[in-house]
Structure 1
Amino acid sequence: MSFSYSKKSFGWMFLLAFVLEEGRAQQPKFLPLQPHKVQWANAVIKNALKTKDTIQLAEGYYLYGKIYEASGDYLTAKRYFMRSLRIQEKRGDSEELARLYTRLSGLGFTFYNYADALRYAQLSLAVAQRMGSDKALLRAYAQMRGIHETDWTRMEGKINKNALKPNYDSVLYYLRKIEPLARRSPDPLELATVNNYLGNELRRRNDPTAIVYIENVLKIYTKQKKTADQVGAMVYLADTYLQFGQHQQAKHLLAKATQLRGTMPSPNEQGLQSAFEVTYVHYYQAIGDWKRAFEHVEKLHELERNRFLADREGAASRLSVEYETEKKEAQLKSQQKELALSNENQNIQRRFLIAISVLLVGAVLATVAFYRLYRKNQRISRQNTELVHEQNHRVKNNLQLVSSLLTLQSNRLTDAAAKNAVEDTQLRIEVMVILQRKLYDGDHLTSVYLLEFMQELVEIVLQTFSYEHVQVIYDISPALEVSIDHALRIGFIVNELATNACKYAFPDHPNPKFKVACSTQGDVFELKAADNGKGFQLPKAADGSKNKSFGMQLIQLQVKQLDGTYRFDTTQGTAFQMQFKV
């Protein structure tokens, strides 16, 4: 459902859509696939492939999309439009790109997808504005008008709840945008079209200036000698006169329209008849002649009933013809495919028998050889796994022994500085203990999942300083995996940062927080760790240079060994950021 303005005039059809009180939307009339159009699109694509002309290929896909859209096969149409779009977007802004966005926006209406309809319409408008093309702007503004005029609450599907109901202020805004473009158009019917829509919107607002716009529509159709559209515009204008209490003007115009209608080749066209009947109902209601108003209501209902029966019979007949045609085509294609498959199968069977004989012998010999190799590799792999697990187990026990000895030594110390140094060293050893346990308990022997490692590491630091209540935020993917060497150095850094936070950031803080974030972008690994304390400043030595604590030196050493870069930010708490190439 595209709202772009075409060069076809539609005066009385627009009137009928506006004044019918039931407000029923007309069902689209689908066309069967037209062979000559399919052949043309196919020829365009073949020539494009032959000449390697991507622009022509995009046009061929677009033509196929139009053909399938006209036939009602919207899914196939969208697939071809998207193929064309992938090519056109690489070229940059063009009339063809704006046109494609509008088509896809129209399919958003078809699929009851408000988000798609709006997104593609906005893309079309952006391209048109950058190009400054009147033609593309007309198309894009019209599509935006249609989106805002649509009552999406009557459509199915999951739609943005904030943009369901019509926004008539936006409708009028886009119509005002279209008006100067239509005035510049060499085709006067473009101006008639936009005046028709403006008149309709102003009528909805009960604004009498709607009369001026609809009178302009009538003048254009009269000058262009579009008899059918002229009659429709006269009936529409008469109904507008009635809305604003100008009964005599309406009566006079209806009489002229009736007289002119008699000169038409098809004066009894059903849509035009319905428009007349609706307007007569309004006229006789306005002057209080309820009897005649009721007579015209009866005529209108009869026309609607006949239209409904005709549509139903036509649909049934069309479906029957299409079914029989498709059935015959399917049978013919099936027979051709069966014949081709039969010949191909015979050739394949002959080649297969020859090849299978050769392969069978080779397969038997290869199976024996591979089985022997498999058994040998399996034995070696099992032995290596056992050795690695045994090694990890011993390293883990040794680290735990060292940690226990440090604990005993710390309990015997009375000097606070020495005791803190021992406890800090114990936490650093705990990093290696956790890492070794992850390797020993896990399935991987050379890498660890970083999230689990960080969680256990930070938890131990917080428990050591009795800060279990601290809110810790982890922004690490559960699937992020790093090597042992990288994990150890990252662990040392996070341990130091968490320890410093417990010492300087969390004391007397009403709501302490600590955040650890790890991510990879291409081959670059990034670590971020931050607390919400008051920040810190390194104390200065006697010569004015900044002292570097052992913890700071340890962080710098780890960054250097990773060939990375780092920085501290103490404006809001203490934030550390490091990057290195994996």
Structure 2
Amino acid sequence: MAFDIPMSKIVLSIQTRHFAKALIILVMVSSVGSIAQTPTTHFLPLQPHKVQWANAVIKNALKTKDTIQLAEGWYLYGKIYEAVGDYLTAKRYFLRSLKIQEKRGDSFELSRLYYRLTTIERTLFHYKESYRYAQLALQVAERINSYKALSLAYNSVQSIHGMDWSEGGKNAQYPSPNYDSVLYYLRKKEKLVLSHGKPMDVRAVMDNLGVELRRRNDPKSITYHQKALDICLKLQEPTEIIVAKLQLAEACLQFKQLRKVKALIQEIEQEIPALPPHSIDRNFQTNINALYRDYYAATGNWQKAFDYAQRVHGAEYQKLHADREGAISRLSIEYETEKKEAELKAKQFELQLSQQNQQTQQRFVQILAVLLVGALGVSVAFYRISVKNHRLSESNALLVREQNHRVKNNLQLVSSLLNLQLNRLTDDATKNVLEETQLRIEVMSVLQRTLYTGQTLGEVNVHDFLTEIVKVGLQTFGYEHVQVQANISPSLHLPIDHAMRIGLIVNELLTNACKYAFPDHEAPKWSLSCEQSNRHWILQVADNGPGFIPEKPITKKSSFGMRLIQLQADQLYAKYAFEIHNGSLFRLNFKV
């Protein structure tokens, strides 16, 4: 019906002149809290005292480094811009405050910010964002169990469900109004305000419930509007009493309680003269005339209904005409103002651009000079470092060559001493022991040569190292003719400690083969393989002799060679095994 107007709209129409007088100045606070220029004329004017207060809060927060006060200052700016209709700027300030409040955790201030952002996103018709902020406001309010926060959150969620986001079904991906959810959250707020709320909060909820029930054509709406009126009567608020009576009269008219409507109309007529002049504006009088029109139409008094309809129509026409004239006048003023501002800004921009170009050129020259000086200094420093490093490299190379030469001479000296001792011995067993010791020293000598002639420092090429040991061992025992099969990738490298232990193990196995496998064989063969898979290594050594499996466990009574193999395997944390497979087969598994 034409008179079915929500209470919030009527209150807004009553207070239009108050809101029209509100002036808010746009303030942008920099790092020192300076005030920015006034916004463009597309929004309502600003209220200086509120801007000054928000500016003072920001300045004090920056001075005292109080982040909570800073968040409150950004929130105040958001309210200022929201009031003048600059929702995008208001949103930016609210988001600044939100970054600080979210770090503090749940609080009324955080829920209040979500409520404000819900309102802005709803006004901008952004469904997903408004729904998300409304849910966040509700979640925080429920966790802190705050009356004020819950009241705002219920309003947010209720307003989301009450809007037609689908625009009458044109946009199917967005929902239509969900009035069941609207009523659900109104009931929750009713329960909340009845237990904690102030009388005017209760009155607002009763009016909203009455409007929703009227929409459902439920006669209980009259009861709720009556409760709202009773509260206004108890508080003795003349303007609010008339608003409540208007709401109640519309509800009674909807359900054909014409006597009560008539009584309420008479009361309103008696009370209107006592209202303050500023309370009766054009919208307020139009709502009353609309009520009279609908009442007389319902009672069959068509003449009066027509008269009041003419008044409503005339008021609406006057409003439309005034709005049109005001809009034309405002647009004309805005056009001239913006034209002059545009010319002034263009000149200022040209001046600023010229100044910026000069500053840029000066800075470029300064930066270029600094870079040249810096480059020169860095070049000199790098040259000195390079010369120093070259000298150190030559010195280190000389030391390494000297070390290699001394190690080589020492190993040769030890080997020569053992050889002299061998020539003087007559006992074959002792000779064999010294020969085996000589071979072990030769393993160290081979390792030293392979390490310091290779390309990598601290690692040994496994292929070169082991093939050299096998070659030296076979020459020592006079078995150069033995067919050797080495399956080792040239890319394999081992650390020095691991290579030394592997070399000693291979040397012992080769010595055993030369002593026990090759002498009585017509075509002796010996094979060696080493494989790597990630960190796992497998070493296999085999001959085609009669086969050999040592007794376990290895004890002090075992041969020196077997004890040496056991010792090296323990140092490698390796597992090994002997098998008989067309001769002897030794397999060693270890990790690097």
Pairwise TM-score range, normalised by the shorter structure = 0.5 to 0.7
1:36 paired residue among 38, 42, 49: 49
Q: CA deviation at 1:311?
A: 2.6
Task: Determine which of 305, 311, 326 is the counterpart of 1:299.
Answer: 311
For 2:338 and 2:192, how far apart are their aligned partners in 1?
45
User: Following superposition of structure 1 onto structure 2, how do residues 241-320 of structure 1 map, counting pairs within 5 Å?
Assistant: 241-266=252-277, 268-319=280-331
- 2:132 corresponds, among 119, 126, 134, to 119
- Partner in structure 1 of residue 231 of structure 2: 220
In structure 2, relative to structure 1, the CA distance for the partners of 1:237 and 1:189 (3 Å cut) is same
Residue 251 of structure 1: how far off its partner (Å): 0.9
Which structure's CA Rg is the greater one? 2
Determine if the alignment matches structure 1 residue 52 to structure 2 residue 74: no
In structure 2, the partner of 1:82 is 95
Q: Using the TM superposition, give the Cα deviation of residue 97 of structure 1 relative to its aligned residue in structure 2, in angstroms.
A: 0.3
Does 1:171 pair with 2:194? no
Question: Does the C-alpha gap of structure 1 residues 244 and 362 become closer, same or farther in structure 2, counting only changes over 3 Å?
Answer: closer
Distance in 1 of aligned mates of 2:339 and 2:52: 21
User: Is the contact between residue 13 and residue 284 of structure 2 (CA under 8 Å) also seen in structure 1?
Assistant: no
**Bigger shift: 219-228 or 336-345?**
336-345
- Could you tell me how far apart the structure 2 residues matched to 1:239 and 1:106 are? 28
Q: How big is the alpha-carbon RMSD for the aligned residues of Structure 1 and Structure 2? A: 4.0
| Change over 3 Å in CA distance of 1:356–1:268 after alignment to 2 | closer
Q: Is the 8 A contact 1:12 1:229 kept in 2?
A: no
For structure 1, the residue ranges without an aligned partner over 5 or more in a row are 1-8, 17-28, 371-487, 490-559, 563-582
* Aligned-partner Cα distance in 2 for 1:341–1:363: 32
Going from structure 1 to structure 2, the CA distance change for 1:354 and 1:90 (only over 3 Å counts) comes to closer
CA positional deviation for 1:310? 2.3
Distance change in 2, residues 1:198/1:152 (3 Å): same
Structure 1 residues 329 and 44: alpha-carbon distance in aligned structure 2, compared to 1, 3 A threshold: farther
Superposition deviation, residue 186 in structure 1? 5.4
Deviations 1:192-243 (A, max 9, x none): 1111101111111222221111112112222223222211221221121121
For residues 494-509 of structure 1, what are the structure 2 equivalents within 5 Å?
none
* Residue 201 (structure 2) pairs with residue 190 (structure 1): yes
Question: C-alpha deviations, 1:123-147, integer Å up to 9, x for none?
Answer: 1011011111011101000111111
Aligned-pair distance for 1:173? 0.8
* SS of equivalent residue, structure 1 residue 137: helix
State the distance in 2 between where 1:134 and 1:241 align. 33
Distance in 2, matches of 1:37 and 1:77, equals: 15
1:477-518: CA deviations, max 9, x gaps? xxxxxxxxxxx98xxxxxxxxxxxxxxxxxxxxxxxxxxxxx
Which letter maps to 2:79? K
Aligned residue in 1 for 2:161:
148
Counterpart mapping for 1:256-405 below 5 A: 256-266=267-277, 268-319=280-331, 353=365, 356=368
Q: State the shift of 1:330 in Å.
A: 7.5
- Match for residue 145 of structure 2? 132
Offset at 1:271?
A: 1.5
Distance in 2 (alpha carbons) for counterparts of 1:327 and 1:68: 25
1:85/1:351 Cα in 2 relative to 1: closer, same or farther (>3 Å)? closer
For residues 85-123 of structure 1, the C-alpha deviation after alignment (integer angstroms, 9 at most, x for no partner) is 111111110011001101111122122111111111011
Question: Who is 1:109 aligned against?
Answer: 122
Confirm or deny: 8 A CA contact 1:37 1:67 kept in the other structure.
Answer: yes
The answer to whether the 8 Å contact 2:13/2:281 transfers is no
- In 1: Cα distance, 2:366 partner to 2:161 partner: 68
* Equivalence for 1:565: none
8 Å CA contact 1:115, 1:159 repeated in 2: no
Cα distance 1:156–1:60, how it changes in 2: closer, same or farther (>3 A)? farther
Separation in structure 2 between the aligned mates of residue 178 and residue 314 of structure 1, nearest angstrom? 41
* Matches of 1:287 and 1:240, distance apart in 2: 16
Distance of 2:218 and 2:339 partners within structure 1: 56
Residue 561 of structure 1: how far off its partner (Å): 8.6
Does the CA contact (< 8 Å) of 1:13 and 1:271 recur in 2?
A: no
Deviation string, structure 1 residues 18-43 (Cα, Å, up to 9, x no partner): xxxxxxxxxxx953233333333233
Q: Does 2:222 correspond to 1:211?
A: yes
TM-fit CA distance, 1:68: 1.8
Partners of 1:199 and 1:333 in 2: CA distance: 54
Aligned residues: 356
> Structure 1 pair 292/67, CA: closer, same or farther in 2 (3 Å)?
same
For the pair 1:201 / 2:191, whether they are aligned, the reply is: no
User: What percent of counterpart residues are identical?
Assistant: 51
Equivalent residue letter for 1:233: A
Query: Normalising by the residue count of structure 1, what TM-score does the alignment of the two structures yield?
Result: 0.53
Q: Deviations over 1:298-353 (max 9, x none)?
A: 21111111112223333444555566667777888888888788778767655655
Q: Distance in 1 between matches of 2:377 and 2:227?
A: 91
Q: Which has the higher contact order (CA 8 A, sep 6+)?
A: 1
Separation in structure 2 between the aligned mates of residue 358 and residue 116 of structure 1, nearest angstrom: 50
